[in-house]
């Protein structure tokens, strides 16, 4: 097997393994496999996208899930792809074409040409992000890469449109829509972001036509729309104005047409706001439009699609931008003497999500969709109340598993915490539930579904799925279908232009994205992929697209597949910089993940990000975390090198461990491994990735390296072996059985930890899996050719533990030893013994001590010698600490600083006295003894005795000093 180089150089290793994985087809899903399926569809990034830290977070999580699923023996499909992202992509390409001088305006090229150019751009530059994902180690099945405008995918989109049209859920209508004056298209409500915006509340007065000399004052934030006003509205219950209803006022603008407009009654008017008088502009305000409908008011459009005032706004305003016009109108009102005042005012204004400009409500002809399968979508997501594991009953005691199990007629497993979720999973109702992580998003989801407005699905763009509707130019007939309709005459007459013209609009990008989980798998055919992998298992995405995408996918899933599209949805947090600010290009706080990978390695980035990504919280990205990941990889690397210094690496695993030769250190680390396996598995089952990463970090670094490897040096002895003649591994094993057994334990630990780490650190674990020889003796697809399919470690069985003596006594024995070490090291530093000075310790043992354990103590204490002397008579003032194994002395032969020792002891006594007082106060509390559970009571009594004993000894020591 290859020797492990001194330093870990991730770049070469990562490239090598990724190429190998691809070549061997390890990522390719087999829909005909008999293995249980696991599937996940990537949230398709924009085809124009480049990798950001947000993607790193999201896709690392998906990769961890996919890799672990493979190790659990599942047939894994992780399906990648990109989204055509209508507005964004058209913008990007138009910009580059303008820059290249190919065109000034899209009309220069025309629709067909521009779309062609966008396709060209897509083929050449699009999907860059997917290549970047490979650098991260993403184990996607690239053979199944999809694009939302693939021909087959487009057919799905059209089919769905036609289907909904036939079901009567799609209609066309002239409605108030959110209009983006930059993108020149309608937007859905979800694409409008409300932002508090500073402006003015302008007060101006108008004269009542029927009562000259009577004026009404109106407060408005949008004076530029005055020329479009066709009424004034007041609340009929407002005594100030009720008598004026039915009369008219003179509209001040445009000057050319100061029409008399009616005063109408509207219950919805807030009497307390402004002056209680509302100007009504049906053409440029959603609420005003509705008032207009109720009172059959005229609609006067005074702002054109670009946000520029038109002719109807009057000669003074025509051609002005709407915001310039706003200033101009105020000026004009002032000149007329109509302006009363302008108050600074902050209100919420809608902005276009993409272009970040103020959206203009505008009346226009659009296609709308009444959402399908809403009730199913709403019912299928598990709500937080159900997830609650404890319900309180009046006496304050948790309603535990037993009573609940009783209700459900189930027997809980003894001594294990049974959650309500587990119990309910046995109940039918529960079977069909989809789980959100964190569950609180389910409430947000439900709330949105409860107040759905029809979805405006048409966009006035060129890049996207064309609406499959044709209008007959002569008859006005409307046709909706997959193919353009024939004109009824014979097709021979090809040169003649068809009288059918297709609707020029394209569909909202999300109208294709919502089909992603099944359109990517070949729907509407009954493909093996759909049969095997739908519904998908997990979806990993950001909560910001819960309405845009997640909710709509769920509805689409029910509507066309009759089933939920995924079983679990994991919502990541948002990646922020270390000051908590959002990553943004303008702030320059958004590092390029590829730079980070080049500097630290992909594994380091993955581990660093995952370690700081708790479920449901935002992630503050700090390069320090990546550094920590890199350091950890180095640690792993060196721990493997340590193993390789000794003979026979990799050739003896599991079965080779001889239980009779196990030391307490061996038993201890095996027990810690068992705990780590359980913790990591449970954490991953519950999508607590940072907990899993932390548990692994702690186990490998703090337990395995810091304690076990150091202790193992006692059993391993020196390298090279103290023999002249070279020996084979088997001969060494025969000659040094303890050493061989320790190496077997090390191999066992490494073989398990590499597998536990693989989902997080795919590259370095694969490299070491090979270097340490763990491939040998394993069947090809179970770790023999790659760690990717090695079995995920299982917690130890009881009989395994019994066989190897993995008992709590063994653990206690090791812990006693380690506590003794800590006490000794503490003595060293208290007396300022330099770390490299080897000193002599004396232990006055309270019980038996194995020679091997004494050797371990000596090594861990970095002692020159450790004397075991039951009858040791310590010279006066010899520094000592009470340890679980007895008194440990640090004889310093006359070098003792009595004052320092006195001070140390006094400090210690103060601490112990304090603790003793605390526990005594509790015990003295009336009611404590009666009400507290026996175990807790005993534990407190024991604690009291321990502190008491320790205090006595400390006091004795202090007394000996004087």
Partner RNA sequence: GCGCGGUUAGCUCAGUGGUAGAGCACUACACUGACACUGUAGGGGUCGACAGUUCAAACCUGUCACCGCGCACCA
Q: How far is the CB of 370 from RNA (least distance, A)?
A: 17
- Both structure tokens of 742: 């320790």
Q: How far is the CB of 295 from RNA (least distance, A)?
A: 15
Nearer to RNA, 167 or 286 (CB): 286
Which DSSP string do the residues of 723-770 spell out, in sequence order? -SS---HHHHHHH-HHHHHHHHHHHHHHHHHHHHHTTT-HHHHHHHHH
- Cα Dmax for the chain: 122
Q: How far is the CB of 371 from RNA (least distance, A)?
A: 14
Cα separation, 445 vs 442, whole angstroms: 5
Cα separation, 668 vs 834, whole angstroms: 30
Nearer to RNA, 476 or 927 (CB): 927
With residue 943 as reference, give the H or E element that holds it. helix 934-961
Q: How far is the CB of 34 from RNA (least distance, A)?
A: 38
Cα separation, 287 vs 273, whole angstroms: 16
Which DSSP string do the residues of 34-69 spell out, in sequence order? SSPEEEEE--PPBTT----HHHHHHHHHHHHHHHHH
Q: How far is the CB of 48 from RNA (least distance, A)?
A: 23
Angle, vertex CA 925, rays to CA 920 and CA 931, nearest 5: 115
- Count Cβ atoms within 10 A of the Cβ of residue 491 and give its class: 0-12 exposed, 13-18 middle, 19 or more buried: exposed
Nearer to RNA, 96 or 237 (CB): 237
Nearer to RNA, 350 or 517 (CB): 350
Nearer to RNA, 18 or 571 (CB): 571
Best CA proximity match to 362, nearest among 305, 291, 447: 305
What secondary structure, in 3-state letters, does 873-920 show? CCCCCCCEEEECCEEEECCCCCCCCHHHHHHHHHHHHHHHHHHHHHHH
Nearer to RNA, 47 or 300 (CB): 300
Cα distances (angstroms) measured from residue 669 to each of 653, 663, 750, 851? 16, 10, 11, 20
Residues 6+ apart with CB under 8 A from 240: 234, 276
Nearer to RNA, 12 or 936 (CB): 936
Nearer to RNA, 213 or 451 (CB): 451
Q: How far is the CB of 304 from RNA (least distance, A)?
A: 21
Q: How far is the CB of 765 from RNA (least distance, A)?
A: 16
Nearer to RNA, 396 or 562 (CB): 396
Q: How far is the CB of 130 from RNA (least distance, A)?
A: 28
Cα separation, 535 vs 891, whole angstroms: 70
Best CA proximity match to 763, nearest among 17, 139, 76: 17
Q: How far is the CB of 503 from RNA (least distance, A)?
A: 28
Q: How far is the CB of 189 from RNA (least distance, A)?
A: 6
Q: How far is the CB of 940 from RNA (least distance, A)?
A: 7
- Both structure tokens of 310: 């038109």
- Both structure tokens of 190: 């979800």
Tell me the Ramachandran region of residue 314: left when phi exceeds 0, alpha when psi lies from -120 to 50, beta otherwise: left
Nearer to RNA, 122 or 222 (CB): 222
Q: How far is the CB of 912 from RNA (least distance, A)?
A: 10
Phi, psi angles (nearest 5°) of residue 261: -120, 150
Q: How far is the CB of 642 from RNA (least distance, A)?
A: 3
Q: How far is the CB of 104 from RNA (least distance, A)?
A: 36
Nearer to RNA, 128 or 940 (CB): 940
Phi, psi angles (nearest 5°) of residue 542: -90, 150
Best CA proximity match to 633, nearest among 719, 753, 748: 753
Q: How far is the CB of 364 from RNA (least distance, A)?
A: 19
Partners of 203 in the β-ladder: 219, 341
DSSP 8-state symbol, 790: S
Cα distances (angstroms) measured from residue 717 to each of 4, 94, 629, 657? 21, 71, 31, 18
Nearer to RNA, 637 or 804 (CB): 637
Q: How far is the CB of 573 from RNA (least distance, A)?
A: 9
Nearer to RNA, 464 or 608 (CB): 608
Taking each helix axis from N to C terminus, what angle separates 10-24 and 128-136, rounded to the nearest 10 degrees?
A: 110
Best CA proximity match to 71, nearest among 951, 593, 787: 787
Residues 6+ apart with CB under 8 A from 931: none
Cα separation, 930 vs 31, whole angstroms: 64
Q: Residue 426, CB half-sphere, CA atoms under 13 Å: how many? A: 13
Nearer to RNA, 384 or 499 (CB): 384
Q: How far is the CB of 787 from RNA (least distance, A)?
A: 20
DSSP 8-state symbol, 309: B
Nearer to RNA, 272 or 870 (CB): 272
Nearer to RNA, 580 or 847 (CB): 580
Cα separation, 230 vs 219, whole angstroms: 16
Q: What share of the chain is helix, strand, coil (3-state, %, to 5)?
A: 45, 15, 35
Nearer to RNA, 35 or 943 (CB): 943
Residue 382: count other Cβ atoms within 10 Å of its Cβ.
18
* 3-state SS, residue 260: strand
Q: How far is the CB of 78 from RNA (least distance, A)?
A: 27
Nearer to RNA, 277 or 530 (CB): 277
């Amino acid at each position: 097997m290859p020797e492990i180089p001194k330093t870990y150089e991730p770049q070469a290793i990562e490239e090598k393994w990724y190429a190998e994985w691809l070549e061997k087809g390890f990522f390719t899903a087999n829909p005909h496999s008999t293995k249980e399926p696991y599937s996940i569809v990537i949230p398709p990034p924009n085809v124009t996208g480049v990798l950001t830290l947000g993607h790193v977070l999201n896709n690392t999580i998906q990769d961890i899930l996919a890799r672990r699923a493979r190790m659990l023996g599942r047939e894994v499909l992780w399906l990648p792809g990109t989204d055509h992202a209508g507005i964004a992509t058209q913008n990007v390409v138009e910009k580059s074409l303008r820059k290249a001088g190919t065109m000034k305006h899209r009309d220069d090229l025309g629709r067909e040409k521009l779309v062609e150019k966008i396709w060209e751009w897509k083929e050449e530059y699009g999907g860059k992000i997917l290549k970047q994902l490979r650098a991260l180690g993403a184990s996607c099945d690239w053979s199944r890469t999809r694009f939302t405008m693939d021909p087959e995918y487009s057919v799905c989109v059209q089919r769905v449109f036609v289907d909904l049209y036939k079901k009567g859920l799609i209609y066309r209508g002239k409605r108030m829509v959110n209009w983006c004056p930059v993108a020149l298209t309608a937007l859905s409500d979800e694409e409008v972001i409300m932002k508090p915006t500073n402006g003015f509340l302008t007060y101006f007065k108008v004269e009542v036509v029927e009562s000259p000399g009577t004026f009404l004052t109106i407060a408005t934030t949008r004076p530029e729309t005055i020329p479009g006003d066709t009424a004034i509205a007041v609340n009929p219950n407002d005594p100030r104005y009720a008598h004026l209803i039915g009369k008219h006022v003179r509209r001040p603008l445009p000057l050319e047409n100061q029409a008399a407009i009616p005063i109408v009654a509207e219950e919805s008017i807030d009497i307390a706001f402004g002056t209680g008088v509302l100007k009504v502009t049906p053409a440029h305000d959603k609420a005003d439009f509705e008032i207009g409908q109720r009172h059959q008011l005229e609609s006067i459009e005074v702002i054109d699609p670009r946000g520029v005032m038109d002719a109807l706004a009057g000669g003074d305003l025509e051609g002005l931008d709407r915001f310039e016009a706003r200033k101009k109108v105020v000026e004009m009102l002032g000149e007329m003497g109509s302006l009363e005042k302008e108050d600074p005012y902050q209100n919420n204004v809608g902005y276009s999500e993409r272009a970040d400009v103020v959206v203009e409500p505008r009346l226009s002809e659009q296609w709308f969709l009444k959402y399908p399968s809403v009730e199913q979508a709403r019912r299928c997501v598990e709500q937080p109340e159900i997830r609650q594991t404890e319900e309180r009953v009046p006496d304050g005691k948790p309603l535990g598993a037993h009573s609940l199990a009783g209700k459900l007629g189930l027997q809980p497993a003894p001594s294990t915490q049974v959650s309500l979720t587990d119990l309910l999973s046995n109940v039918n109702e529960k079977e069909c539930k989809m789980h959100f992580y964190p569950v609180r998003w389910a409430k947000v989801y439900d709330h949105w579904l409860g107040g759905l407005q029809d979805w405006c699905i048409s966009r006035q763009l060129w890049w996207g799925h064309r609406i499959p509707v044709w209008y007959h130019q002569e008859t006005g007939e409307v046709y909706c279908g997959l193919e353009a309709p024939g004109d009824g005459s014979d097709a021979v007459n090809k040169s003649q232009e068809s009288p059918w013209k297709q609707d020029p609009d394209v569909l909202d990008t999300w109208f294709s994205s919502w089909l992603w989980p099944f359109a990517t798998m070949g729907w509407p055919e009954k493909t093996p992929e759909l049969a095997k992998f739908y519904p998908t298992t997990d979806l990993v995405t950001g909560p910001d697209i819960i309405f845009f995408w997640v909710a709509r996918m769920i509805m689409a899933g029910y509507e066309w597949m009759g089933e939920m599209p995924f079983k679990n949805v994991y919502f990541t947090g948002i990646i922020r910089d270390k000051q908590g600010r959002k990553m943004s290009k303008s702030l320059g706080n958004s590092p390029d993940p590829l730079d980070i990978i080049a500097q630290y390695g992909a594994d380091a980035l993955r581990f660093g990000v995952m370690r700081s990504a708790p479920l449901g919280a935002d992630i503050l990205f700090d390069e320090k975390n990546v550094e920590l990941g890199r350091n950890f990889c180095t640690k792993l690397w060196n721990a493997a090198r340590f193993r390789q210094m000794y003979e026979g690496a990799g050739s003896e695993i599991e079965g080779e461990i001889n239980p009779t030769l196990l030391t307490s250190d061996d038993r201890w680390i095996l027990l810690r491994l068992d705990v780590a396996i359980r913790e990591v598995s449970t954490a991953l089952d519950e999508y607590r990735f940072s907990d899993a990463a932390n548990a692994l970090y702690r186990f490998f670094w703090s337990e395995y390296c810091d304690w076990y490897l150091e202790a193992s040096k006692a059993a391993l002895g020196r390298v090279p072996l103290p023999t002249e003649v070279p020996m084979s591994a088997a001969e060494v094993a025969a000659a040094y059985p303890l050493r061989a057994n320790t190496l077997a334990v090390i191999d066992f630990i490494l073989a398990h930890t590499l597998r536990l780490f693989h989902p997080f650190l795919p590259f370095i674990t694969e490299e070491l899996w090979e270097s340490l020889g763990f491939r040998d003796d394993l069947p090809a697809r179970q770790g023999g050719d790659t760690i990717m399919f090695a079995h995920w470690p299982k917690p130890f069985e009881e009989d395994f533990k019994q066989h190897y003596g993995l008992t709590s006594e063994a653990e206690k024995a090791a812990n006693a030893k380690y506590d003794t070490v800590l006490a000794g090291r503490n003595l060293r530093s208290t007396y300022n013994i330099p770390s490299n000075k080897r000193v002599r310790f004396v232990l006055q043992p309270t019980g038996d001590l194995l020679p091997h354990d004494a050797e371990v103590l000596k090594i861990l204490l970095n002692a020159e010698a450790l004397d075991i002397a039951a009858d040791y008579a310590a010279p006066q003032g010899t520094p000592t600490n009470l340890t679980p194994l007895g008194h440990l002395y640090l004889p310093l032969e006359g070098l003792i600083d009595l004052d320092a020792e006195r001070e140390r002891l006094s400090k210690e006594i103060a601490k112990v006295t304090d603790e003793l007082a605390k526990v005594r106060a509790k015990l003295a509390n009336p009611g404590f003894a009666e009400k507290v559970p026996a175990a807790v009571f005993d534990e407190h009594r024991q604690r009291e005795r321990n502190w008491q004993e320790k205090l006595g000894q400390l006091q004795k020591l202090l007394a000996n000093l004087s």
